[in-house]
Structure 1
Amino acid sequence: MAYVSVPKDLTKVKNKVAFNLTKRQIICIGIGAAIGIPFYFLTRGILGMSNAATVMVILMLPAFMFAMYEKDGMHLEDVILHILNVKVFRPPVRTYETENYYESNPETTGSKNASREKKGGKTGVKKKK
């Protein structure tokens, strides 16, 4: 009797389209080939075959990395976005600020505190001090 191993986590199963590659991988590798191969043929007479091939590989490497890199279920662009959020877009030190409701004046504070004060009683009537 034939046995087929079934993974416990089915989210890791990817649909393979051709050559045991996913659609995403085929598209990324195609983009890399569309950039690298014409560069090689256009510059091999100027740079020489070895230098043109080296630059072609360097140009194709980012597309290959976007196609193949995956860590913890995240692709390379997700990892780069998280790194940029932590290092660039968000402040490195976040201050902890609170507003003491009892020390603030409810008439001059934001709409949250003012709406809490207006819930009960008559509207539009000010208290006398």
Structure 2
Amino acid sequence: MPLFFVLRDSGGNTAATLGMMAVMLPAFFLGMYEKNGQPMEKLLSYYVQSRFVRPKIRPYKTNNYYALLMKGGMTHDPVLEKDR
């Protein structure tokens, strides 16, 4: 709102209105945009985490239960314990 009054003196009502709209559009976009039920703030935080915070190369690691069974070792499998 103060931006409107500052720009109105130097550029007139039209320029002040356009300037005020340009300042308010990002805030309106953040408040109204949703993708897959998530607001834009969440999507931006996920993007920053995946792009800058987390490591670029994530090694693929598995627990090979079959190889452990062939060795004769004992495994701890929560799925099998659930059935008992």
TM-score by length of 1: 0.42
The answer on 1:85 being equivalent to 2:60 is: no
Question: For the residues of structure 2 that align with 1:50 and 1:70, how far apart are their CA atoms?
Answer: 31
* Structure 1: gaps spanning 5 or more residues: 1-36, 98-129
* Structure 2: gaps spanning 5 or more residues: 62-84
Q: Percent identity?
A: 34
Post-superposition shift, 1:94?
A: 2.5
The aligned residue for residue 20 of structure 2 is 56
Q: How does 1:23-38 map to 2 (within 5 A)?
A: 37-38=1-2
Larger RCO (CA within 8 A; separation ≥ 6): 1
Structural RMSD (CA): 2.0
Question: For the residues of structure 2 that align with 1:96 and 1:72, how far apart are their CA atoms?
Answer: 28
> Whose helix fraction is larger, Structure 1's or Structure 2's?
2
The size of the alignment, in residue pairs, is 62
TM-score by length of 2: 0.61
The answer on 1:65 being equivalent to 2:29 is: yes
Secondary structure of the residue that 1:48 maps to in structure 2?
A: helix
